[in-house]
Amino acid sequence: MKAAAPADQRTLAPPERRLARVTGVERLGAYRLLSVLDADGPTDPRPGQFYMLAAEHGWGGGADERPYLPRAFSHARASAAPDGLGLQFLLEDVGPGTHRLSELSPGDGLWLLGPLGIGFRAPAPGARPLLVGGGIGAAPILCLQNELPKARALLGFRGAEHAQAAALFAGDPHIATDDGSVGRRELVTEALARALDSEPRASVYACGPPAMLEAVRALCSGRGVPAQLALESGMACGYGACFGCVVPTREGYVRLCVDGPVLDAAALETALFPGAGH
Amino acid sequence: MLNGSGTFDAIAARRAFGDMLLDRFPFDAFVSKTITAEPRQGNPPPRLWETPAGLINSIGLPNKGLDGFLASDLPQLAELPVPLVVSVMGFSRDELASLAGAACERDEVAMVELNVSCPNVETGLIMGADPDETARALERVRPVTDRPLIVKLTPNANDPAAVARAAEGAGADAVSLINTLKGTALHPRTRAAWLGAGSGGVSGPAVRAIALEQVRSVAAAVEIPVIGMGGIASGRHAAEFMAAGAAAVAVGTESFRDPAAGARIAAELAGGAAPG
């Protein structure tokens, strides 16, 4: 067995998918925030864990017979609801799976498997957590902020449409955009570099596109700052069955679904993987 | 109801689902991932591509090798509540025989499945693509054990029924089919091969009609039991494979959509799901 993570970073999932109900859909610029009632699942998923999602209907029967496989999403929020657990997922319509999920309305059924994988580990005593989210990768960072309310959040987006997701964050997150339409025109990793200059005890938590994660990894590695990266890779199953989601680490290939998706940056030579970010 | 080899890792699944997996284990027998003599890290990523109603994978048989499997995986698989079938692949007939023999020395192993979808380095031929090659391999393996031997047929053979007959003639106790069909996918922008290994194997509902025909023709050609698989996603599909001559069925890609798919499909079949 690999990398014995503390048990509390992995809430176990029931060994079958279950039907949850969409309770709300909120438009946030380029994104949708899908609210779901999970009546039959664990009520304590960890930030950074994920669920496999598939619409109850029209999954496999759409144009080109896709989507077929479920899609992996880290939850953006999890909160107790009267009849179970309220989960929120941030999504952007970028392919056949996310397109179908974007069509869902309140009352629709959603297959859920999860929570899966290993979530973020708590910062070491005395460490100052810094949260870094890029684009849709803001989702698990938002979830983590709920546990680390004092942690500063640095968010990067393409432009104003995407930056609307920043409104979900508490406090006053730093916003960087590619086009300067909102916040500062810079890369979020430039903001991270400044933050690291002024915070020697930082412990970084990041999720975002591969190029951003690689920049975070290189920055933190150069300064000896601990960093945990929530990574993404094409996944078929989410529970270790297909061996499809491997990423290269210093110790060889690991399956992101059972050994991640959160990995220590120090375990990686690079966060730029073949196929990542497609 | 079995799992297709390489489509369910019970050890990883137990990490995700805990002992709930043992209480609600979805298969009546468990087929291991294919074990090779030496450890393999598998193919470079990317390893997956979603197709219309299916999946192309190029995983490359990552495994700990025989010694690692026996020392580390087998004791964990022995805790499963069902009989264990160990899948082995050798790159020569001797290697195949020695893997099968080593697996069968362990009481935890109920049967061995021979994955013959690999080239024999002695002849350059895919063992399972040719009746003669298959018969020669079986002739080498059969004397090493009395335990049941299943031959996993490749659908990429010219005549799977002839290969099945050859396996039966050389002492196989059962055949299973289909393995994945060769396929590839191109990067949507660059048009270069998407998969790290260049090509892979297609599975899922996309291959079901092909699998059903191969099961039908093989079942008509042999007396030994046929384990049918290939895109089975419901009790109705399972009933079709049984009607085509399968004595048992296996689920593979559908488990990726739902780890409990095997149990659900078995229940639908037991509940009287009719073919067609």
Q: What is the pLDDT of residue B110?
A: 98
* Shortest Cα distance, chain B CAs vs residue A59, angstroms: 10
Distance CA B16, CA B18 (A): 6
Question: Which uninterrupted H or E stretch holds B66?
Answer: helix B65-68
Residue contact B46–A236, C-beta within 8 A: no
Q: Summarize pLDDT for B236-260 with one digit per residue, the tens.
A: 999 999 999 999 999 999 999 999 9
Is residue B89 a contact partner of residue B36, using CB atoms and an 8 Å limit? yes
Other CB atoms closer than 10 Å to residue A27's CB: what's the count?
10
Q: Is residue B194, in this structure, part of any structural domain at all?
A: no
**Residue B165 binned pLDDT confidence (cut-offs 50, 70, 90):** very high
The answer on pLDDT for A2 being more than 60 is no
pLDDT above 70 coverage of chain A, percent: 95
The answer on pLDDT for A276 being more than 70 is no
Residue contact B260–A17, C-beta within 8 A: yes
Is residue A88 a contact partner of residue A232, using CB atoms and an 8 Å limit? no
* Shortest Cα distance, chain A CAs vs residue B61, angstroms: 9
Q: Is residue B18, in this structure, part of any structural domain at all?
A: yes
Pairing between β-strand A77-81 and β-strand A84-91 as defined by DSSP bridges = antiparallel
Q: Does B189 touch chain A (CB under 8 A)?
A: no
Q: Is residue B243, in this structure, part of any structural domain at all?
A: yes
- A42-to-A46, A78, A262, B38, B63 alpha-carbon distances in Å: 10, 11, 20, 40, 32
For the annotated catalytic residues of B, the residue numbers are 118
Q: How many alpha carbons fall within 13 Å on the CB side of residue A17?
A: 28
Cβ within 8 Å of residue A176, ≥6 positions away: A154, A155, A156, A157, A183, A184, A185, A186, A187, A188, A190, A191
Q: Is residue B188, in this structure, part of any structural domain at all?
A: no
The answer on pLDDT for A1 being more than 50 is no
Q: Summarize pLDDT for A138-177 with one digit per residue, the tens.
A: 999 999 999 999 999 999 999 999 999 999 999 999 999 9
Looking at the 3D structure of chain B, how many domains does it have? Answer: 1
Residue contact B13–A275, C-beta within 8 A: no
* Shortest Cα distance, chain A CAs vs residue B179, angstroms: 15
The residues pairing with A22 across neighbouring beta strands, listed in sequence order, are A36
Distance CA B119, CA B122 (A): 9
Could you tell me the pTM of the whole model?
A: 0.95
**CATH number for the domain that contains residue B16:** 3.20.20.70
ipTM value, please give it. Answer: 0.94
* Mean pLDDT of the residues in chain A: 94
* Shortest Cα distance, chain A CAs vs residue B109, angstroms: 21
Q: Does B101 touch chain A (CB under 8 A)?
A: no
Measured torsion, CA atoms of residues A57, A63, A64, A70, in degrees rounded to the nearest 10: -30
Residue ranges, CATH 2.40.30.10, chain A:
7-116
CATH class name, domain A128-267:
alpha beta
Pairing between β-strand B174-177 and β-strand B226-228 as defined by DSSP bridges = parallel
The answer on pLDDT for B40 being more than 90 is yes
Residues of chain B numbered 39-78 and touching chain A (CB < 8 Å): 41-42, 44-55, 57, 59, 62
Contacting residues of B for A260, CB less than 8 Å apart = none
Residues of chain A numbered 103-122 and touching chain B (CB < 8 Å): 111, 113, 116-117
Q: What is the pLDDT of residue A4?
A: 44
* A-chain residue closest to B54, CA distance: A68
Structural domain for B109, as ranges: 2-43+60-182+202-270
- Taking domain A7-116, whether its CATH number is 2.40.30.10 is answered by yes
Residue contact B12–A258, C-beta within 8 A: yes
Residue contact A65–B26, C-beta within 8 A: no
Q: Summarize pLDDT for A77-98 with one digit per residue, the tens.
A: 999 999 999 999 999 999 999 9
Q: What is the pLDDT of residue B214?
A: 98
Residue ranges, CATH 3.40.50.80, chain A:
128-267
Q: Is residue B85, in this structure, part of any structural domain at all?
A: yes
